[in-house]
Structure 1
Amino acid sequence: MAELVGSMVVGPLLSLVKEKASSYLLDQYKVMEGMEEQHENLKVMLPAILERITAAEKQATSREAIRPWLQKLKVAAYEAIQVFDEFNYEALRRQAKKEGRYIKLGMGNRIMFRRRMGNKLCKIVRDIEALVKQMRDFRFDKQPQAQVQINYLRENDSTMVDPEIVSRSRDEEKQKIVRMLVKEQANNKDPMVVPIVGMGGLGKTTLAQLIFNDPEVKKHFHQLMKWVCVSDDFDVCNLANKICNASESNLENALQNLQRELAGKRYLLVLDDVWNKDDNKWNKLNACLKHGDVGSAILTTTRDKEIAQLMSTGEEHGIARLDNKFIKEIIEAKAFISQERKPTDLAGLVDDVVERCAGSPLAAKALGSVLRGKTSTEEWKAVISKSIAHNKDDRILPILKLSYDDLPSHMKQCFAFCAVFPKDHEIDVERLIQLWMANDFIPEQKDVRHETIGKQIFSELVSRSFFEDVKQVKGTRYGFVYWYLSTSTCKIHDLMHDVALSVMGKEVATITEKPKQSDEFLQNTCRHILLSCDEPEAVLNDSLNIRSPAIQTLLLGEDFLPTYIFLKDPRIKSLQHLAKYSSLRALRLWQTKSTILLKPKQLHLLRYLDISFSDIVALPEDISILYNLQTLNISNCWKLGRLPKGIKYMTALRHLYTHGCEELKRMPPEVGHLTSLQTLTDFVVGTGPDCSSIAELQHLNNLGGPLLLSQLENVTKAADAKQASLGNKKEIRELSLSWTGSEEEKQHCHKVLEGLEAPPGLEALRIQHYQGTSFPTWMGTLPKMVELRLFDCNKSNKLPPLGSVAALQVLHLKRLKKLESLCSGGTFFHFPNLKELTLEDLPEFDRWCEVNWVQGEQIMFPQLEKLFITNCGKVTALPGPALLGGSCCGDSKEQDERKLWSAFPVLKVLKLQCLAKFQRWGGAAEATQGQQIIFPQLEKLSIKKCPELAALPSATSQGVSFDHSDVTAWSAFPNLKKLLLEDLESFKSLGMTEATHERSQVLPRLESLRIRDCESLVEVFNVPASLKTMDLHDCPKLKSIFGELQDEPTFNQGPSAAPKLSSSAWDHLLPCLESLNIRQCESLSEVLNLPPSLREIDIWECPELRSVECCLGEFATLERLVLSECKSLASLPDGPQAYSSLRHLQITSCP
């Protein structure tokens, strides 16, 4: 494949040489003194080459002699870039000396510098002169390079394929495999293995994802579903760890963990992209996979039919080439920005394009992306002719080559660089763009930030299908930053990764396993290295002992491995041959030593330095000589106690990550000089003359993203806070303000917070340990604020005026000891868009609003979906409800008569915990005769430690039809699926009373019921037919679960002797119940009329239990039966089929 797609990109390198050779700094500081002639000769030759380089690159695949010439030109360009970067650094050093920000390191001997650099420049000029002579012999046509322009994609551009097309295109195949997994495999003891086999790019993984996400499959395999990306490393230990979410390094222990994880569970395991042909490895893993439950299944994807046959337990599924009608839809979706305005002449050529795709959706997306933006029939026909495959056995790769060749030169560099990442690696997009910047891949554009251009390049590559699986991930591991903002990640399709590898050749080296011969992986041509294996320094030291590559990127650390691979110690302890790192532009180093291993003198060309999660205690003072450094990541260096004073001289810094440095107590002085900073994750306010005051932020108006201001108790002057000018930093989206220290140290906090007025574009605000009695008014004037978190603000009894913050969607209030109400100032606050509300540890919170509004006029939380209330001792009820409108109910006249009320018309999750006085569900309306409080959309309800709550809202006797439901809502919770009741001293009723005769309409969708520590609960009547799992723990007065049942169940009698149901009555019982778990219910005497659908029965410590009976006399599907310390239990159901499917039986301390 290297010959097929190994295009060589040299033009951007030469353009970069030209740009660096023309830098004004070279002349201003006379760093090329005595080398003027060579300098001028080079500046004359470069435009001549650039005029013909486009033609040379195009002809390289058809004229064999051109490739070696291009390779020599590429080497010369790299050497020239290195030389001019050295010149530029010397100019910056002289500039720093002139401005008084200079550390003498023995690098300032001008005579030695001139001699050394003169020799290097002369060699480059000679080499390029020879290459120019050769170029003339090739007689390339002049083709001036096109101006670099970034296509700024509009949000509504049709650059992504509609998922609905993908779903429809594979529906028939999906349904076939779903039937195999759910129906045909249902009763098989050993797991079924279904391989999906086919050539790369046909959509094997996509089909597996459709199957994995199918509702029927999720329901069938609800006990355990796992997806493992395997690729070419079929390491049994690692795969076992991945399935178990474990980190065991010993193979036997890992396999034992796997057996325990699978035991008794019907599971679905997907092994994606398998390349293993070693049957011993497969047999070892497969032996453990057989410990799952009946009906388990394994779905694999592979390109190799031999591998499919090795793993399959039956017939493999050969994935079909996608039907041409779907290929056409995909091409049109990618090629035409507007589906309504497809040019007739171009639309007529689509069928010709379809034929070139060979049924591959990947090829269709790639080819469609190439055609997007081409507006003439001539351009389309040229693309179609180029896409004809020379190798008829593989018609996809030529299209991927064409897609790559169609990229602008600078995008080719950006994408090809990604070959350094392992296959299936989740690439952090922000870090990727910073690595592009460090390697000069992003072109200059006037008045546009490199980061902005990088994002547009990434978006364009996504739209052309070079990247996929783009996701937004919340950075939860970062603590006080990235709690709101998310980071983007992406992956590269295997075939696209192969394209990148073929382009880069031996310029990249990716090592995730320690090679047997450590000196073999690294070639002299290698420029970008990723090394993530045990003892990485040994691999690197051995290789550099015999070779001298000009390394530009060195990424060392465990964070580049798949999440299921855990190394013994991937951190760096020592490095040798330090002089060989002098060409580094980007370095990721995870080290154990307290001082940084590589000295700044050796890294003076560095632009990207990431030493996060390392054990360093300080950065060296001479780090300030890294005049080119753009990104410095020292986050989560827990022992780091100080930053160098000279950091103020690193004026090229754009991104400084300092969060998670627990020992860092101050910022060095004069950080306000770093005016290029766009990211500063944690500004630690210190005391004394050797640190920066918060006023230093006034000049950092380019700051954006997340910002944490910590130790704000050290701000003693409100004027300093105001001088920080946070309001001028328009790019900040997430702001955290944190105080620590004693109460005395926080006495100025109100005026300080007033001065820290946030910019109007702020989207998320977090305030912690603030001790003012009130909040500033600016907090109620942030029109774009989506999320607000207030923690440990112990003296504030009122919230800021949030009624005007219409965009607010998430509100978290924790440990506000004096807060009494959500509303203040005698007004009623309406939260029109709030979706999530958390109230935790609010001991004085006793009312939702300070004023009484007319009940029924307005709902306080019309869009609230999640409500969590914990440890709020004075809360007695939920907010007062309003009369539901036509959107929730049927005919409005009828609903008025029924008087259905709700404070939460769209609430889905409700958790109430540690509410000492909570009694009522809806204020005064609950007590009004004839009014029914309902939660029409609630799906999950959890109630813990509410000692005064006696029952759920009682059922109404009148049914009401809901738009989204085909049942009639008899209860307050017509859509509830999960119910947890725990430690409720007064709780007596679920609302499922003896008087309710229509059992199917009581909690009609309940699937999981868990009741624990409810001392007053006596009986559980009329359990709904939809129930799947029931857990009853520590209910000492519980006597009956299902009551006495007859052929015509009445559900209104006690737990006296109950005959078994006939099969005709079975339909009225619990057809879905699969798991029953009962523990420590001392009064429970009988468990009768259990349904035969049960798979698991666990009964522990029920001393009065005398009988366990199935309503049909046998447990045909029972797989697990555990009875322990049931001392009165006399017998069990018997018969030849009573326990025919039992796999686990445990009976202890039962007579």
Structure 2
Amino acid sequence: MAEEVGEEYFDDLVSRSFFQQSSSVQSFFTMHDLINDLAKFVSGKFCVRLEDSDSLNTAIKTRHLSFMKKTDCHAYEKFDDLKYLHTFLPLSLLPIWAGKFRMLDLHHLLHTLQYVRVLNLSRYDIRELPDSISNLIHLRYLDMSYTLIQKLPDSVCILYNLQTLLLSWCLALSELPTDLGKLINLRHLDIRGTKLEKMPPKMGELKDLQTLSDFVLDKDHGDDITELKEFQHLHGTLRIAGLQNIVHAEDALKSNMREKEHLNELILQWGCNSNDSEKDRQVLNNLQPHTNLKELTICSYGSTSFSRWLVHCSSNLVCLRLKRCENILLLPPLGQLPLLKELEIDGLNGVVSIDNEFYADDTCAIKPSFQCLQMLKIKNMLEWEKWSYEGGGFPNLRELRLLKCPKLTGILTLDYFPRLNMLKLCGAGLESVTNISQELILTDLTEIYIDECKKLRSLPEQMQALLPSLQSMSIENCPEMHSFFEGGLPSKLKSVSIRSCKKLIANRVQWSLPRLTSLRHLTVSFEECEAVDSFPEEGLLPFSLTSLWISSLLNLRTIEGELTHLTSLQELTIQMCPELQCLPDEGLQTSLSHLQISECPLLK
């Protein structure tokens, strides 16, 4: 295929340093100035790129034009001499940009560029595409993404040379032309982020499609799922939505998903009104993908259990997301997926307990379980009460997020996460985070964030020894948390935030903050805490602080002179202290570069 040949050429140029991969964005590539100058010299006037200050001064030989767009585009009469142009490519450095295109200008542009092959109109304020688009009989690439267009004219369907049609994030687009199937040379169709509720008829005639971002089934055309059998060359990501509208489960089998070996990601999405559990189960069985699949998402599935292929025929899965499948009662043995790195479980409200079956079943023999898993997110599990680790562990997990699991009680034991880097707990009913082995040292854990854990009383004892690499800790809205135990906080902490933790803040002198010589940022908010008359107390704060944020001291009248000893302080924020009348008599440190005071009406 031409795309594969192009990728080989590009990879060859990268290997020869013609292009260099961006250090910030993996999908971006840059070109050295010397290589860029050489390329412009060799291409001559055949390829022209206009910078912001350049005027349009091109020759009749120019075939490829690109320019930076920062202002509204108008006066397209400048392009009258470019009727042989093959590429019209506006560029923008900004991720979101909307230039103005008057309808008259667009008509003029389309009339002028009759030989154009590549036309990029993305991110322009275009609400309608003229019928005259049909005059561009040589057009192969049309990008209308991020525009306000509501529908495409039917005349698009006679652009028989069109190979790429990009309509992603056209938020007002609600339908595609009925005769889209006539574009038999179309290879790439991107309709992500649109309002489409159904596909045009005879989509199966687009047999050369390599990219199809979405396939949407409506309630009257559920049997259109069979059209997918014709797409044998699909690559990348495919989302199939409206699966509840399939009437006959055997139609899903005709989609021939098991033969689509080049698909990298598959999203299977049922609607919220799915009410036939048995049919949903059969449909999922029949949508078994090829074993090459890397990423899988299942949304709003209505049956009580997942298909066996999810574990036994998905050996190459790297990422799995199970969302809003509210009838599921037990999780399958996902611990046996040998390459799984990311797992998200969201809104499975029928699950009450995660037990040994989560790690392995009688037919599985991989030990240890979850041996490649690096990120685990479990959220919106409103009925989840128990989590057993006895069936296995997470030997290489780096990130653990438990969010909005209010009935999950008991103890979170860190021994099962020896390589954890980040821990986030929000809205969980846990009572303690602890460790069993006194010899356990979590050398990789650098970040802890805990919020709305109303029953949480304690963190592990001897945190200083257990978490020697911890750099950031935030604890918010945990009213039962009372102390950090003997030994205090880990010495390498750089940022600490404590908010609305009544008992913990009452024991703030025991935090032993002056011992934390690496601490730079401290946030303390006294919401729902007992009245505090003065702050900060003598010896409470370390001299290493560069940023201090204090809030909600309702009875505080004065800021103590302790602040004058913070010789490194650069940023100070004081909020919601209605009785505060004055700052320290000694003044503030000259190192301070940013001072923000708000909702302190008595301060003069």
**In 2, Cα distance between the equivalents of 1:696 and 1:1132?**
75
1:450 aligns with 2:29: no
Match of 2:344 in 1: 812
User: Could you list the runs of 5+ residues in structure 1 that have no partner in the other structure?
Assistant: 1-448, 474-486, 854-858, 882-901, 956-968, 1039-1080
Match of 2:42 in 1: 503
Q: CA deviation at 1:861?
A: 0.5
**In 2, Cα distance between the equivalents of 1:579 and 1:637?**
24
**In 1, Cα distance between the equivalents of 2:84 and 2:596?**
66
1:1034-1113 counterparts in 2 under 5 A?
1034=526, 1082=532, 1084=534, 1087-1089=537-539, 1090-1097=541-548, 1099-1100=550-551, 1102=553, 1103-1104=555-556, 1108-1110=560-562
**In 2, Cα distance between the equivalents of 1:874 and 1:866?**
22
Match of 1:772 in 2: 303
Q: Deviations over 1:680-711 (max 9, x none)?
A: 1101113446x971011112111111111011
1:1033 aligns with 2:525: yes
Match of 1:946 in 2: 453
Is the 8 Å Cα contact of residues 333 and 359 (structure 2) preserved in structure 1? Answer: no
Partner residue of 2:466 out of 972, 980, 990: 972
**In 2, Cα distance between the equivalents of 1:678 and 1:1144?**
54
Please tell me the residue identity of whatever aligns with 1:817. N
1:459-498 counterparts in 2 under 5 A?
459-470=11-22, 488-498=27-37
Match of 2:364 in 1: none
**In 2, Cα distance between the equivalents of 1:726 and 1:755?**
8
1:935 aligns with 2:442: yes
Please tell me the residue identity of whatever aligns with 1:833. C
Is the 8 Å Cα contact of residues 536 and 570 (structure 1) preserved in structure 2? Answer: yes
**In 1, Cα distance between the equivalents of 2:527 and 2:551?**
12
Q: CA deviation at 1:848?
A: 2.6
Match of 1:275 in 2: none
Greater helix share, structure number: 1
Partner residue of 2:159 out of 623, 626, 634: 626
- Number of equivalences: 583
Match of 1:616 in 2: 149
Q: Deviations over 1:572-614 (max 9, x none)?
A: 7533164432211111123544432363431111111111222
Match of 1:913 in 2: 426
Q: CA deviation at 1:825?
A: 4.8
Is the 8 Å Cα contact of residues 525 and 549 (structure 1) preserved in structure 2? Answer: no
1:831 aligns with 2:363: no
Partner residue of 2:93 out of 557, 562, 569: 562
**In 1, Cα distance between the equivalents of 2:98 and 2:228?**
41
Greater strand share, structure number: 2
Please tell me the residue identity of whatever aligns with 1:834. L
Is the 8 Å Cα contact of residues 100 and 126 (structure 2) preserved in structure 1? Answer: no
Percent of pairs identical after alignment? 28
1:542 aligns with 2:78: yes
When normalised by structure 1's length, the TM-score is 0.47
Please tell me the residue identity of whatever aligns with 1:1108. E
When normalised by structure 2's length, the TM-score is 0.87
Please tell me the residue identity of whatever aligns with 1:938. L
**In 1, Cα distance between the equivalents of 2:411 and 2:397?**
13
Q: Determine helix, strand or coil for the equivalent of 1:767.
A: strand
Is the 8 Å Cα contact of residues 933 and 953 (structure 1) preserved in structure 2? Answer: no
Match of 1:875 in 2: 408
Is the 8 Å Cα contact of residues 506 and 526 (structure 1) preserved in structure 2? Answer: yes
**In 2, Cα distance between the equivalents of 1:732 and 1:593?**
32
Partner residue of 1:668 out of 194, 197, 200: 200
After superposition, the Cα gap between the structure-2 partners of 1:906 and 1:493, relative to the gap in structure 1 and judged at 3 Å, is same
Q: CA deviation at 1:1101?
A: 5.0
Match of 1:1012 in 2: 499
Match of 1:589 in 2: 121
**In 2, Cα distance between the equivalents of 1:502 and 1:766?**
48
1:848-927 counterparts in 2 under 5 A?
848-849=387-388, 852-853=390-391, 859-878=392-411, 902-916=415-429, 918-922=430-434, 926=436
1:142-181 counterparts in 2 under 5 A?
none
**In 2, Cα distance between the equivalents of 1:1119 and 1:827?**
50
Q: Deviations over 1:743-795 (max 9, x none)?
A: 44776211111110011000000011111111000100211001000111111
Q: Determine helix, strand or coil for the equivalent of 2:538.
A: strand
After superposition, the Cα gap between the structure-2 partners of 1:821 and 1:828, relative to the gap in structure 1 and judged at 3 Å, is farther
**What is the root-mean-square deviation of aligned Cα atoms in Å?**
3.2
Partner residue of 1:750 out of 261, 267, 281: 281
**In 2, Cα distance between the equivalents of 1:678 and 1:878?**
49
1:725 aligns with 2:264: no
Partner residue of 2:87 out of 528, 542, 553: 553
After superposition, the Cα gap between the structure-2 partners of 1:512 and 1:692, relative to the gap in structure 1 and judged at 3 Å, is farther
Q: Determine helix, strand or coil for the equivalent of 2:27.
A: strand
Q: Deviations over 1:63-120 (max 9, x none)?
A: xxxxxxxxxxxxxxxxxxxxxxxxxxxxxxxxxxxxxxxxxxxxxxxxxxxxxxxxxx
Q: CA deviation at 1:470?
A: 4.3
Match of 1:1134 in 2: 586
**In 1, Cα distance between the equivalents of 2:62 and 2:293?**
44
**In 1, Cα distance between the equivalents of 2:359 and 2:19?**
51
**In 1, Cα distance between the equivalents of 2:160 and 2:327?**
47
User: Could you list the runs of 5+ residues in structure 2 that have no partner in the other structure?
Assistant: 362-368
**In 2, Cα distance between the equivalents of 1:1131 and 1:644?**
68
Q: Determine helix, strand or coil for the equivalent of 2:168.
A: coil
Please tell me the residue identity of whatever aligns with 1:706. T
Match of 2:365 in 1: none
**In 2, Cα distance between the equivalents of 1:1123 and 1:658?**
48
Q: CA deviation at 1:565?
A: 9.3
After superposition, the Cα gap between the structure-2 partners of 1:1140 and 1:817, relative to the gap in structure 1 and judged at 3 Å, is closer
**In 2, Cα distance between the equivalents of 1:615 and 1:1146?**
41
Q: CA deviation at 1:639?
A: 2.3
After superposition, the Cα gap between the structure-2 partners of 1:632 and 1:491, relative to the gap in structure 1 and judged at 3 Å, is same
Is the 8 Å Cα contact of residues 541 and 575 (structure 1) preserved in structure 2? Answer: no
Please tell me the residue identity of whatever aligns with 1:523. A
Is the 8 Å Cα contact of residues 537 and 575 (structure 1) preserved in structure 2? Answer: no
**In 2, Cα distance between the equivalents of 1:810 and 1:827?**
15
Q: CA deviation at 1:1034?
A: 1.4
Q: Deviations over 1:446-490 (max 9, x none)?
A: xxx1111101100111112211134695xxxxxxxxxxxxx8221
Q: Deviations over 1:479-525 (max 9, x none)?
A: xxxxxxxx82211122211112112222233335486x6xx434322
Q: Deviations over 1:367-421 (max 9, x none)?
A: xxxxxxxxxxxxxxxxxxxxxxxxxxxxxxxxxxxxxxxxxxxxxxxxxxxxxxx
Q: Determine helix, strand or coil for the equivalent of 1:617.
A: coil
Q: Deviations over 1:901-936 (max 9, x none)?
A: x111100100011113x11335xx75xxx8576534
1:174-189 counterparts in 2 under 5 A?
none
**In 1, Cα distance between the equivalents of 2:594 and 2:70?**
41
Q: Deviations over 1:650-687 (max 9, x none)?
A: 2211111122111x111112211211111111011134
**In 1, Cα distance between the equivalents of 2:46 and 2:402?**
57
